[in-house]
Structure 1
Amino acid sequence: MLLPATIALRRATPDDAPALADLNAHVQRLHADAHPDQFSPVSHSAVQAFFDTALAGGPDLAWIAEIAEEPIGYLYAVEAHRDANPFTTEQHTLHVHHLAVAPTARRCGVGSSLLRAVVGHARDAGLDGLLLDSWTFNAEAHAFFRRFGFEPMQTRFALRL
């Protein structure tokens, strides 16, 4: 078992795109297996190209977790601003799109360390909060997010035609 003190976190850069693509594969496969109509099959080159571009500037942010300089997890998020309108208030949030931990490093504090880092960033940036989505089949992720303090706030319905 890994000790949380051995986990090093840092902001990811485009140079980390190959490692992020490696770490993404198991999560992408989980989603593609569950909903092949919604998720693309694993493509290391496509994911690497995505991160290469996404981390080159703009509202996209990523953190990478390492032990002995070996990547073991990452979190990818995007800052989002929504203007007030007659129906909703103004919101400036950080939307967590990916949280991936290598299977061999799970339940060792990696995911919690990554979430603490992004929460700290959001607080320091004066954001209103964090949002994330999780598919209904991923009960393990739901339990983790609830333990961390996230609460469900919306249900999304789909009608496939």
Structure 2
Amino acid sequence: MKSLFIRLARLEDLKAIERLSDIVQAIHATSRPDVFRMPVDTEGRRAFFSASISDDRWRVWLASKDERVLAFSMSEVIDKSGPIRSPHFEGHLHQICVDPADRRQGVGMALVQHTVRDLKARGVDRITVNYWNFNTASRALFEAAGFAPVETKAELL
């Protein structure tokens, strides 16, 4: 996408991140109100985003055009080593949201690719993402970016 600028988020970006987070939250809360709150705990969410922006394990990226924030992503480097697992670090893309007005223009793919490049540069052994079955837009984005299912999580309904 021409003239798209991707940069690390700063604390002064919290309002833009929260605006986009509300969009993601509404999608999730509509489909799974038993799991996702609506409205959210705004103070708790602000504390979470603030801590993530300040924590070296996390990256919060913003995609903008002409000073307007179009999207954000959140990723984390996680040490998955343990007594039954080989030593390795996983990069996990926790959240991504593109403003509905800016979807289908390459913003999401550019942000996913940027996040993946950053995680690889940070030395992770694998990169993962989770998405809910009802979130078909996320599934399509991640499949187009090359992500493939490797584990299935089932829920007793």
Instruction: State TM-score, norm by structure 2.
Output: 0.92
Count residues in correspondence: 156
Over the residues paired in the alignment, what is the CA RMSD in angstroms? 1.6
| Partner secondary structure for residue 66 of structure 1 | strand
* Mean CA deviation greater in 68-77 or 47-56: 47-56
Partner residue of 2:107 out of 105, 110, 124? 110
Match of 1:49 in 2: 47
Equivalent pair of 1:17/1:49 in contact (CA under 8 Å): no
Equivalent pair of 2:52/2:60 in contact (CA under 8 Å): no
Q: Structure 2: any 5+ residue segments left out of the alignment?
A: none
Task: Return the letter of the residue paired with 1:55.
Answer: I
Offset of residue 48 of structure 1: 2.8
Task: Return the letter of the residue paired with 2:16.
Answer: A
Q: Structure 1: any 5+ residue segments left out of the alignment?
A: none
Q: 1:1-161 maps to which residues of 2 (within 5 A)?
A: 4-43=1-40, 45-46=42-43, 47-86=45-84, 88-160=85-157
Task: Return the letter of the residue paired with 1:67.
Answer: K
Distance 2:53 2:7 in 1: 13
Instruction: State TM-score, norm by structure 1.
Output: 0.90
Equivalent pair of 2:3/2:65 in contact (CA under 8 Å): yes
Distance 2:87 2:11 in 1: 31
% identical equivalent positions? 26
Distance 2:86 2:143 in 1: 25
Equivalent pair of 1:20/1:48 in contact (CA under 8 Å): no
| Partner secondary structure for residue 50 of structure 1 | helix
Offset of residue 159 of structure 1: 2.1
Q: Taking structure 1 as reference, are residues 113 and 13 closer, same or farther at Cα in structure 2, changes over 3 Å only?
A: same
Moved over 6 A (4+): none
| Partner secondary structure for residue 127 of structure 2 | strand
Offset of residue 35 of structure 1: 0.4
Offset of residue 109 of structure 1: 1.0
